[in-house]
Structure 1
Amino acid sequence: MLTLRRSIAALSAAVLTPWTAHAASSADYRLEALARGDCEQTVKTLQAGLDAKDPEALYSAGRLYDEGACVKQDTATAAQLWLQAAKAGHQAARLAVAVKVGLGEGVDQDYALAGSLLRGGELPVKVSGEVNDYTLGYAFTALRTMQHDFQYPSALADQRVIGSAEIRFATKDSAFEFGTFRRSANSDQPPVGTRVDRARTPMAQAFEVAARSALSRMKKPDPAQLSAAQVSERLAFGPNESDLKLPNASGIDMNVLRAGGLRLQ
């Protein structure tokens, strides 16, 4: 498997098939559409998208390989697929591969490269002042890994509260602040007669656990390369359920599908 740096050079030099040269719509390759079928149909549909180099198909195929759904789990392949989709302008793929690079999952770990990938489009985070690629990559990886490691607090299990909070991350000392928690419109509202959302405390406590977990498994940054900046992002919190739901149809041999996988070009 080529390293990510070599792959970037190779992809930049390649002459790619026009993205519009396929019969199906990109919407057909979205996970929401694929989840309505079984694994056999999912693999077949995505294969057509990959052959056409459709960016949505590249992103969705990367999700399958990253999750190990319908194909054998392979984070390196997921990263390469997301990189190709990112080069075609797919925003979600660009963010996903930046996190992989920041964590060093399936690719060489590199905070500076993660940050440079984020600059390929509109920044998904707010930055106070100037920030170099290394600092940006480190902060973004930390924020998204914290959200990934978040475990929904059992105290809110009955209410199933969902909402978001602005997380502010101070890069020099790797300190975070859990901002005001806001419930989503379809969430149960706080009890009548109080303006204090009782869900905030257990959410903040659960996030603190997730933050410690995330930082402990990330590569410690080089202080000499870190700029003193505050990077913030509004992150969503809710029941920790997978958004990748691909049912296994009766009679499908999952082992065969995982062994065969997808033909990658």
Structure 2
Amino acid sequence: MRKPFVIANWKINKNVDEALNFLDAILSQLPDSDRTEVGIAPQAFAIYPMVRSARKTDLQIIGQNAAEKCNGAYTGEISVRDLASMGVNYVMLGHAERRHYFKESNQSINRKILTALREGVKPIVCTNGERKNVGGDNVFSQLENVLAGVPAYQLANITLLFEPTAAIGAGNRANIETAERGCWLLRQEVRRKFGGEVAEHVRILYGGSVNPNNIGLIMAAPNVDGVLIGRASLDAGSFAQMMNYQQTTLSSVI
């Protein structure tokens, strides 16, 4: 069974004090870790203080990016080895904003993935495409290239993410059918490349305009195993509601 994964992507919002105050507000409300995995991806300088603050919980503090190399003359980069030394278990790689603003290529993202796997940090691999071409050649080409050289057994340590480009940071209403179809098509591509057993076990998340009003419907889609939440995750009350979506959904049914 694929455990649901709910992740807050803060981008470059919240300073250290704000991040720690946020944790104070939500840590007591974390769902049962056997039922739902929860993560927050803060700015790099907030990672270690947050790891320390959350160390007695199952909350995952996640890197938003990492370098291809673990050390050397790469000014401004973040080493995945250093993330691991701080207690970070996951790192996002290939987010659409990294591709757009920093011109990251599939080949660069592939090298980052391989480095993260070697260092024992689990990549959250982002793919993105237009709504009208959801799961089309663009997304398939991304997946094919960024996972080049990754052995099938390592898919157990990889989480995939589908983001429709038009929905990222736009505040548009998330399309449930788009979420399910995109994640389903990614799963079919994993099946083609790595086999049926791997495809059934890999977690595939959806990102794009997720909020407290639609998370229950999105998570009910058979091939959506989790969500990456942007602006709606910046409010502690909103995020607490979303990370407990299963309880909220059950209450609404009862």
- Normalising by structure 1, we get a TM-score of 0.31
TM-score by length of 2: 0.32
